[in-house]
Amino acid sequence: MEVDPLAEDFPLPESVVTILESPLPPSVEALLQKICLEQSQVPPDVVLRRRLAAIGEEGAKEILRRVAARNVRSLSGFIVYMLNRYPECLREDSKSPAGKSAEKRSPIISPPKALEGNRTPNSTPLKRSGLFRYFSLQDAPGSSERPNPPKAVRLLSFLDEPRSNERANHLMISEQLNLLSQLEFRKLFLILSYIGRNKLEEVISPDAARNILELRDLPMAEFESCIWNVHGHGSYVGSERPKYLDWDSGKTHMYHCNVDQRGQCTFKGPLLDTTRTHLQRALGDENVLCVKFASENECCAKIVADEGIFVGVRRYRFFVYKDDKEKKRKKSLDETKRTPASLKCYFVRFDSIGPCKDDMSYTFAMKKINEARSHFMHVHTVASMSKYIARFSLILSKTIKFPVNLACVDVQDIEDILCRDENGHVVLDEDGDPRIHTDGTGYISEDLALRCPKEFYSARLLRDGNFEQFQDITELDDSDMEGIHYWNREAPLLMQVRLFNNGRAIKGTLLINKQIGPGKIQVRPSMVKVEKDPKLSANSTFNSLEIVAISHKPKRSYLSKYLIALLSYGGVPEDYFLALMESALEETKTIYTNRRAALKAAVKYGDMDYEYTTAKIISSGVPLGEPYLRSCLSRLANMEKDQIKRGKLPISNTCYLMGTADPTGMLKHDEVCVILENGHVTGKVLVYKSPGLHFGDIHIMNAKYVQELDHIVGNAKYAIFFSTKGPISVATEIANSDFDGDMYWVSMNPQLLNYYKVSEPWSRAYVIPKAVSRRPSEFTPSELEYELLRIFLEGKKSGNNMALAADSWLACMDRFLTLGNNNYTHEKVDLRGKMLHLIDLYYEALDAPKTGKKVNIPSGLKPEKYPHYMERKPSYDSTSVLGKLYNYRESSKPEDNSRIEVWKLPCFDVEVPDTCMILWGERYHKHYLPEMTEAMNCGPGGSEVRNVAANDVIKKYKQLLYDASDFEESTRKIDEIFNEALAIYNVCYDYAKRFNDIKKCSFAWRVAGSALCKYHALKQKGQPFLILPSILQDIL
């Protein structure tokens, strides 16, 4: 009997059923089948086919034509991505003549259906297409009920952009954007941030744009207020409002963009920062866009690589990113997991699709990305992609520009000192590379070293309080540096630098050398991270010597939980650490009664205080029991206790010093030279470098006086020198370190030296093979960009390995210490083996960004439970020294400020002119309180944006009081200032007494603190004098 092929009980192939249930137009079906055949892809399912059908034949064909132009991993995934990104937008425009004509030029995008009922009469298909799509409106405008206002969203732009001169002829720019593009860029960026999800043309009419343009000459603070009042309230998250008073202070302007999983962009900023990078200094702040991706969607990454990101008429392209291993290392695994998956990179402006004032003069206008990168360094010459990424990210180091014209500096190459065995043969490491004694360190002549700015010691730590003194240096052009006077009376002994010179990129430390002659810098091969390409011209490179940090007088040193564990393993008894704990907690109690202890703590945390307010109050003689001062001291004591809780125990006769190699060759392998304030240290010392985890990472070395060193470094101070003799560098034995700026923990503490017994130094037992990859020069330019983005997005997947290895090691070490000093049991042997394996994996993970090695932590090395002090689940109660320290700390409760009674100091509780009381009573209650409430809503407690907003409110009222930024710069009569300062004090304290809330007194001291301190000092018959916080810290 013949079978009916259409009978119900005859099973049709699934692919046929899919086609029957979700038919597509023949042209779309043919194109889809062709893609599946050519790219060996699985056909889309019924749901996805129906979504394609819903956007119409032309729209579906347009999306599939884009798919056909790529080799995609997942056909369905890419189609979903495209449909989400262009929701039902192709169907409408393809019906209109304008849309059909534009289709040949670029993808045609219109607003989603949600807006169809809200279109303005002027909303034509042409306006909704082409260029205007990156001002897409996601929600209907005009909605008054927005409990959680969204941030500004922009769609990424074109796939196949022609050159900017071609685009200018093909694309229409709205009148509004054309007008607003005439604004200063930071003002345009502010508008694009503040209009929220709204399309620019929907919320700003041409007349409104002309009105905004008339505000172009307003100071930035006034301009921001105007735009916020009109557009910001309804569409922008108030907590992220960039509200500053010091827009023109010379601070770095940071421009942020977040890219979500659908490829849509959110703008934020500009935000002000006190640090700057070589990238920003070379191109200008407004040409650098900090971009954060929320997902590792590779399709999205390829789209971004093709299109770039548009801000107004400017296009920014992916340029560089940095794998910040330092942040990863300091995070525990739990912290890493709690952090949202996002990666930060930097896009750089290249071209424009409309008129732009500096198009012709801009360095990267009309340049290809690989050409642009060569302006910084010839990074294409490196051997692997991992090195390409690591080396090029040197332009992201936070630095200040060294005030020297490099054209007048003689940069010389000198040889590294290699490690040799007893027969004089060069020793190789596990990867077959020569071991080096001088890894990462060179020389600088004394005359150049003296140009290092005074008071500088780390670019990363520049803050509002000290930013201005380096501002002029930062902004100097080479041409302005001729004839400049020396900046320092004493040159730093070591400088951690980045040197970009004629295509080369050099990283490391420069040791002052009085013997090499003036105007010279000497670098070694180990410092040269990128070599010059002889085929390229060096005339257009951004040459600069950048300082990251210098050797400086060390601050008080602390132990960490890892260091405590290693010292315990080495024989230091538990009682020693418990005694340190007791001493530290007792010291916090003296803060309330001992003026020296109080001042010491106030200066230590001065950067977290408002302009060292607490230190100023103490120094002026105000009694420590004064209510507001008491609350400040309570906060300082709690901060000290919190440090102790995190395992940071203060320890004497110990410091952190920058390390380098002995230039004299006099030191033996087990010897070091340590130079502190009073000269050379002699005797036994412990030496360690974080993040060392190996039992032998703490070395006992012999500190020796080297007279020959005086002829090289003179009176320069604060560093540790290591020997250049032996088969392996001591730095390598200590946590696989080098001399490119690493800081070494050096202890002369007699008790530690008496207790501690050294272990065999670290040597690698578990070696991960070298990563095999193509050289960057073997990629085509487009392949290189895709590969860079792929590696960048993959970084999210491997970011936990470092934290996982460290946490697993600590859990194993805790169990090892709990078992005591009995003979090695089977469990201890097993734990020790696991720790050794974890140590090697941890060090490999630290270097993985440079080596490209893939590090995975085997499940057998992961603990089943964690000690309770790690605050991870599942946990057990640890009885090790770290567990006991944690339990001891937990018993110390923080002090409650709410119990402090508010009362006035008699010398401030005096009669004040009524006019002053009325003036400041009105300012405080009617203006300050609501303004500060708004500032406090600008983000979570402790966030930078909230602190900045609050500080700006305080600056406003200081300006009203002093007619200047502070008391010292004021030209007002001192009696007038004193009367108003006393009025502020009494208004605030009266208000605080009503609620018995000491926090309400802060306004008086933050605004009028300098005047009140001066007034109090004069009443005590004293004459205050100026002293720098850094000097005060040295004295204390």
Question: Would the pLDDT of 728 be above 60?
Answer: yes
Question: Would the pLDDT of 89 be above 60?
Answer: no
pLDDT of 462-473, one tens digit each? 655 555 555 544
Question: Would the pLDDT of 84 be above 50?
Answer: yes
Q: Are strands 875-876 and 866-867 parallel, antiparallel or unpaired?
A: parallel
Which residues are within 8 A (CB) of 1036 and not within 5 positions of it... i.e. 6 or more apart? 596, 599, 600, 603
In this predicted structure, what is the pLDDT of residue 24? 84
**Section 880-902 average pLDDT:** 76
The helix-helix angle for 75-85 and 298-307 (nearest 10°) equals 60
In this predicted structure, what is the pLDDT of residue 942? 67
Q: What is the DSSP string of 867-928?
A: EGGG--SSEE---SHHHHHHHHHHTSPPP-GGGPPP---TTTSS---HHHHHHHHHIIIIII
Neighbours of 583 (CB within 10 A): 13
Query: Among the listed ranges 170-179, 297-306, 517-526, 1020-1029, which one has the minimum average pLDDT value?
Result: 297-306
Question: Would the pLDDT of 477 be above 70?
Answer: no
Buried b (16+ CB within 10 A) or exposed e, 110-132: bbeeebeeeeeeebebbbbbbbb
Q: Are strands 441-445 and 520-523 parallel, antiparallel or unpaired?
A: antiparallel
Q: Residues 197, 139: contact at Cβ < 8 Å?
A: yes
In this predicted structure, what is the pLDDT of residue 245? 73
- In 761-885, DSSP assigns E strands to 866-867, 875-876
In this predicted structure, what is the pLDDT of residue 731? 94
Q: Residues 180, 312: contact at Cβ < 8 Å?
A: yes
Share of the chain above pLDDT 70, in %: 78
Domain ranges of the chain: 148-373, 393-550, 557-650, 654-755, 901-1035
Residue 271 zone, left/alpha/beta (φ > 0; ψ -120 to 50; rest):
beta
In this predicted structure, what is the pLDDT of residue 120? 35
Q: Residues 1021, 627: contact at Cβ < 8 Å?
A: no
What secondary structure, in 3-state letters, does 244-276 show? CCCCCCCCEEEEEEEECCCCEEEEEEEEEECCC
Query: Among the listed ranges 198-202, 724-728, 975-979, which one has the minimum average pLDDT value?
Result: 198-202
Greater pLDDT, 293 or 817: 817
pLDDT of 574-603, one tens digit each? 999 999 998 988 888 899 999 988 888 888
Structure token digits, residue 690? 């974080």
Q: Among residues 541, 501, 548, 507, which one has the least CA distance to residue 401?
A: 548
In this predicted structure, what is the pLDDT of residue 17? 56
Q: Residues 882, 870: contact at Cβ < 8 Å?
A: no
Fill in the DSSP letter of residue 232: I
In this predicted structure, what is the pLDDT of residue 6? 39
- In angstroms and rounded to an integer, the radius of gyration of the C-alpha atoms of the chain is 32
The Cα–Cα gap between 744 and 729 comes to 14
* Stretch (H or E) spanning 14: helix 14-21
**Section 121-134 average pLDDT:** 31
Q: Residues 618, 624: contact at Cβ < 8 Å?
A: yes
pLDDT of 318-372, one tens digit each? 999 987 655 555 554 444 444 444 568 999 999 888 777 666 678 898 889 999 9
The neighbouring-strand residues paired with 659 are 720
Assigned fold of 654-755: Barwin-like endoglucanases (2.40.40)
Place of tokens 């597509």: 24
Band the pLDDT of 532: cuts 50, 70, 90: very high
Question: Global pTM?
Answer: 0.78
Greater pLDDT, 29 or 126: 29
